[in-house]
Amino acid sequence: MSESTSSRKPADDDDAGERVSDQVIRLDSQREQRRGNPPVVEDDALEAPVAPEPATLEAPSAQPKPAAVIIAPPAPAKPRRGLTRPILFALLPVALVAGGYYYVIGGQVMTTDNAYIQAQSLGVSTDVSGTVDEIDVHDNQAVKKGDVLFRLRPASFETALGGAEAQLGTVRNQVLTLQASYQQSLASIDQAEADIPYYESAFQRQQDLLKTSTASKATFDGAQHDLVAARRKVTVAKAQAQAMLAQLGGDASQPVEKNPFYLQAQSAVDDAQRNLDDSVVKAPFDGVVTNVDALQVGKYLPASQPAFSLVSSTDIWIAAEPKETELTYVRPGQKATISIDGYPGEVWHGTVGSISPASSSSFSLLPAQNTSGNWVKVVQRIPMRVTIDDPQGKPPLRGGMSAVVSIDTGHARGLPDFVTELLERFGQKS
């Protein structure tokens, strides 16, 4: 009995070892499958696992079966925890503080892209009518102030000027004649006044003779008539001299050039000369002419009709229309930086020149009707003019080009309202 028991014990130990080894192989293979690495075992271990057989009594002479040797893969090394995570956690509050600081001190610059270049422009015309005789410029040519643009045929204007000058000469001669006639009137007055004493003495003598009945009544009447006629002649001469003096402007000694008749004739000459000068049309300011092809030699150009356009190259500004909510701290005189879409990388400097007193929609033909039932609130835009301080040495600016204007208002954004209220409450409690 003892022998049989001792002979079964090695067999049971063998079977138990095989069962344990099979379980270990399964567990290792499952772990490796989860990790994605195949288990490393010996060839015997790669064989399909065999279900354990029921224990049987074997002869004492049976040799025990060697257990399968398992080679376990080396355990993966634990990754070393780096410094990235602690550094990120340490930088997070710093980033929040820096972001809050820049938020509070920011908001000083108001930027709008609703801005365009404007330039002074006009339709070149003249206030005299005439036929185009010569065109001295071509399309898109740069001109300076005073350059000749085109000329009208001058014949009719020269004729009118000649007639006005001839009339001026005639008036000059008439004034000189009036001055001479006035001097002659003065001489006539002196002569008439010199004759009066003679006629008075003759009359007195005839009167004395008549009393003594020495002279006849007819002789006395003739002496009396001569005296009255001499006195009337003085009166007439003075009246004529006064009339001539009035024609001379009340001052017979003034120069001919200051006489009213002469000044009237001189104004006619000046007007004719102006018409002749206006027949030569010159540039009123520096700029570039455009649409010159609309004017041709031989065309009759009525007065005040534009011939072509002239766009200024010096009087240029920025017309911006920011939203009304963006103009809270914008004031005239603040500095601005200007960038033009057509010239990337170039920066101009300017100054806020003026801000319109009303929105653009206020000047429209059909302004908004706020009392209507279908009214919708819309943020309005306020026109603003920005002058350009440094156009020299920069690319040429053309009217209508798109621009971006940034204005330094000098007013920081500050703390949010709720934070300010909390600080005020905390200050009142403390």
Q: What is the pLDDT of residues 244-274, one digit of tens each?
A: 888 777 777 788 888 888 899 999 999 999 9
At residue 382 the predicted structure's pLDDT band, cuts being 50, 70 and 90, is very high
More confident residue, 185 or 404: 404
User: Are 344 and 395 in contact, with CB atoms under 8 Å apart?
Assistant: no
pLDDT at residue 42 is higher than 80: no
Which of 403, 406, 397 lies closest to 340, judged by CA?
A: 403
List the strands of the sheet with 130-135, edge to edge: 280-282, 148-152, 130-135, 300-301
More confident residue, 5 or 232: 232
Query: Which positions ≥6 away from 293 have C-beta within 8 Å?
Result: 139
Which of 34, 109, 22 lies closest to 67, judged by CA?
A: 22
pLDDT of residue 68: 52
User: Are 266 and 203 in contact, with CB atoms under 8 Å apart?
Assistant: no
Identify the H or E element spanning 427. Answer: helix 417-429
Q: What is the pLDDT of residues 8-20, one digit of tens each?
A: 444 444 455 556 5
At residue 142 the predicted structure's pLDDT band, cuts being 50, 70 and 90, is very high
More confident residue, 39 or 258: 258
pLDDT of residue 77: 56
CA neighbours closer than 13 Å in the CB half-sphere of residue 185:
18
More confident residue, 213 or 389: 389
More confident residue, 50 or 412: 412
What's the chain's average pLDDT? 80
**What are the chain's domains?**
105-120+311-358+379-421 (2.40.30.170), 122-152+279-308 (2.40.50.100), 157-272 (1.20.58)
The size of the chain, in residues, is 430
Q: CA of 59: how far to CAs of 2, 8, 11, 15, 68, in Å? A: 13, 8, 10, 15, 23
User: Are 401 and 342 in contact, with CB atoms under 8 Å apart?
Assistant: yes
User: Are 165 and 269 in contact, with CB atoms under 8 Å apart?
Assistant: yes
**Cα 38 vs. chain centroid, distance in angstroms?**
77
CA distance 256 to 248: 9
CA distance 385 to 398: 16
Query: With left for phi above 0 and alpha for psi between -120 and 50, is residue 393 left, alpha or beta?
Result: left
User: What are phi and psi for residue 102, nearest 5 degrees?
Assistant: -70, -30
pLDDT at residue 163 is higher than 70: yes
pLDDT at residue 56 is higher than 70: no
Query: What pTM, to 2 d.p., does this model score?
Result: 0.59
User: What are phi and psi for residue 300, nearest 5 degrees?
Assistant: -85, 120
Query: With left for phi above 0 and alpha for psi between -120 and 50, is residue 345 left, alpha or beta?
Result: left
pLDDT of residue 29: 63
**Cα 344 vs. chain centroid, distance in angstroms?**
19
Average pLDDT over residues 84-94: 83
More confident residue, 58 or 259: 259
Q: What is the pLDDT of residues 281-304, one digit of tens each?
A: 999 999 999 999 999 999 999 999
Structure tokens at 3: 């022998």
